[in-house]
Structure 1
Amino acid sequence: MFKLLLVSALVAVGLCQYSVPVHGHNDTNSTSTFTNPILDTGGADPWVFRHGGHYYMTYSNNENITLYKSDVLTDWNNAESKLIFKPEKGFNYSTDIWAPEIHNLNGNWYVIFTADPRGDSPPPEVEMWCEYNCPAVHHRMFVVEGEGDDPWEAEWKYKAELDTYDQFAIDGTYFQHKDQLYHIYSCWHRKYDGWPANLCITRMSNPWTVSSPFSERQIISVPEYAWEKTPFGRASNDRLASNEGPQQLTNPTTGQTFVIYSAARSDNRNYCLAQLELVGDDPMNPGDWRKHPFPIFYQNPGESAYGVGHASFTISPDQSQDWIVYHGMQDPTDGWYARTIRAQKFGWNDDGTPNFPKPGYGPYEVPSGQK
């Protein structure tokens, strides 16, 4: 999700040599199918949830947090929109607003998001301490609170900066286990590392307060496999090797708990999804996590679906199906500019792990119960 050049203006993706659909409208001959992307303009880092008979979405636009509302999951071109937070200038959270997520916790709504104070441009006196170029050195995690039962009618206001020990932090998410709330986010080992980006976890006492001291912060995943780095198997350095975009996913039948995260470089065709499973009882113990040795959702060159990652998960209107919403590229040479938002149904393997399809464009059947 490292988006040095993420455009704030939304850019439509171009056609390529493959004859695949590029518009997210329902099929003209049938309302029972749809094609990807589900939004005609560009977008990245989608966060989608269902509440009160509607779907809601937010995604990175660099400048603010906008909430979208739709009756259907598979077409957002005519969705209602509402600005819920636009920062004033001069604060640590004024620029480069990335990867907002909206969670319902303790009766209110909370947006957890990444931002920085200088448009991803630290002064030379700071960046000179980094081993590699590190424009994201000032990125931190922040929280906006929405009071009320309905996210659309909630009163939104800035709440707090999350404590990440004055170190790089992006793509934070809330993780819940046995009535304890945790913060999982993408981190460096040290303040000026500049890479690799790992997954860190800390305890929280409420949605805006981290309770773990730095000595208890744990790193639960690092880019160790060749496919977690770009180019594959880079031997000389770890620049832009990333574990980021973590999301909690729970098997509704078995109760197994996973963290699905993004790996490799976010502006590259090799961006993919990877999997941690909580096999012990303590999320703060790195030994209680089991990492899948291969990516679980990755590029499909046969359909020109590249750079697939930074996903969120939701359900069909009748709650019988699980759906993944993610971003990907049709032309990987355009990097961050090329990303668009897509959706597909997924299932579960016999061992309880998620079973994701190959990414593509469809046409696919609409979610069960969608009208």
Structure 2
Amino acid sequence: MTYTTNDDVTLLRSQVLTDWNSAESKALFTPPPGMNYSTDLWAPELHQLNGTWYVIFTADPRNDSPSPEVDMYCPYNCPAVHHRMYVLEGHGSDPWSANFAYKTQLDTYHQFAIDGTYFQHTSGLYHIYSCWTTQYAAWPANLCIAKLENPWTVASPFSERQIISVPSFPWEKTPYGRAENDRLSSNEGPQQLTNSRTGQQFLIYSAARSDNRNYCLGLLELTPGGDPMNPSDWRKHQYPVFYQNPAESAYGVGHASFVSSPDGTEDWIVYHGMQDPTNGWSARTIRTQKFTWNDDGTPNFPKPGYGPYETPSGQ
């Protein structure tokens, strides 16, 4: 598992999916100073594509402190204006022993980009990430998609980049009820989820603000046979599919990933949440829970909590 450290890309390894407190830790990559990717490394993701390991992450050259000459172009304060996406490449039988090296910046058309992920489809490989509508828009944060030639090269020109989701429902905005609340309205942390039984393709994403109790998961479903680059082929569910559970003091649940149990009989969600929502990002911890599927093929996530939970089948 990878996670945000701000300073490097770190890999965790645990013998048990439901216990990350005693996990081993290893730095895969530490950026040199003075580069566009030297500070504020966020949301690294580990993928194996065509037998090669890739880490996709976002970073910034100035510790999220743009110069006044840049910040003045934004209608709101925009500390993340210089955040872009980057790729590491690793070779080896498993990510723990693989040697990772910086590959390149993943083109996002000279615009803000965070939380990028790979979306694999029969029509090709895609990059889906959190974006602004323009270079200095600042808010809201939307979900953009571009087609890839390979894991580090974008094939789509800017004219073909598509916005497939914007924060349109009240639960995607923070705080609720504000007359004008584009600021802090977010769609981010996208993650592909496939129902192996039906073939349905979903994009699970985080909504609202990541250091807030209202952070939650939304769901986009790709129309069967649809084109990932066609926004009208994505259907957004009206309500969040995973959200806070005050009964167990489980707040700010988001930025999920999905794995199967070792024997392939169970599906698990891995996410972060917080028990004390007043402490923001520093209060987040790793959680893992089993989930099932509804009759219509959509994921049926449990209420978030703390367990303890049984270990995955076959582990």
Q: TM-score, normalised by structure 2?
A: 0.98
1:121-132 to structure 2, matched below 5 A, reads: 121-132=65-76
1:258-269 to structure 2, matched below 5 A, reads: 258-269=202-213
CA contact (8 A) 2:175 2:181 kept: no
Match of 2:151 among 196, 199, 207: 207
Query: What's the counterpart of residue 81 of structure 2?
Result: 137
Q: Distance in 1 between matches of 2:26 and 2:213?
A: 32
Match of 1:318 among 263, 268, 280: 263
Deviation at 1:368, TM superposition (A): 1.3
CA contact (8 A) 1:225 1:233 kept: no
Q: Secondary structure at the match of 2:179?
A: coil
- What's the C-alpha RMSD, in Å, of the aligned pairs? 1.0
Deviation at 1:179, TM superposition (A): 4.8
**2:258 is equivalent to residue 331 of structure 1:** no
Structure 2 residue ranges without an equivalent (≥5): none
Deviations 1:337-368 (A, max 9, x none): 11111110000000000000000112322211
**2:189 is equivalent to residue 229 of structure 1:** no
Higher RCO by CA contacts (8 Å cutoff, separation 6 or greater): 1
Counterpart of 1:319 in structure 2: which amino acid? G
Please say which of residues 248-257 and 60-69 is displaced more in the overlay: 60-69
Q: Distance in 1 between matches of 2:128 and 2:254?
A: 17
Identical counterparts, % of pairs: 75
CA contact (8 A) 1:148 1:154 kept: yes
1:169-180 to structure 2, matched below 5 A, reads: 169-180=113-124
Match of 1:297 among 227, 242, 249: 242
Are the structure 2 counterparts of residues 301 and 194 from structure 1 closer, same or farther at C-alpha, using a change threshold of 3 Å?
A: same
Q: Distance in 2 between matches of 1:77 and 1:303?
A: 20
Q: Distance in 2 between matches of 1:66 and 1:334?
A: 23
Deviation at 1:124, TM superposition (A): 0.6
Deviation at 1:267, TM superposition (A): 0.8
Query: What's the counterpart of residue 244 of structure 1?
Result: 188
Deviation at 1:78, TM superposition (A): 2.8
CA contact (8 A) 1:230 1:264 kept: yes
Q: Secondary structure at the match of 1:164?
A: coil
Q: Distance in 2 between matches of 1:331 and 1:76?
A: 19
Q: Distance in 1 between matches of 2:310 and 2:26?
A: 29
Query: What's the counterpart of residue 137 of structure 2?
Result: 193
Match of 1:272 among 194, 213, 216: 216
Following superposition, which runs of at least 4 residues in structure 1 exceed 2 angstroms of deviation?
76-81
Counterpart of 2:39 in structure 1: which amino acid? T
Q: Secondary structure at the match of 1:275?
A: strand
CA contact (8 A) 1:67 1:83 kept: yes
Tell me how many residue pairs correspond in the alignment. Answer: 314
Q: Distance in 2 between matches of 1:179 and 1:111?
A: 22
Structure 1 residue ranges without an equivalent (≥5): 1-56
Query: What's the counterpart of residue 5 of structure 2?
Result: 61
Q: Distance in 2 between matches of 1:354 and 1:191?
A: 35
Counterpart of 1:191 in structure 2: which amino acid? Q
Q: Secondary structure at the match of 1:365?
A: coil
Q: TM-score, normalised by structure 1?
A: 0.83
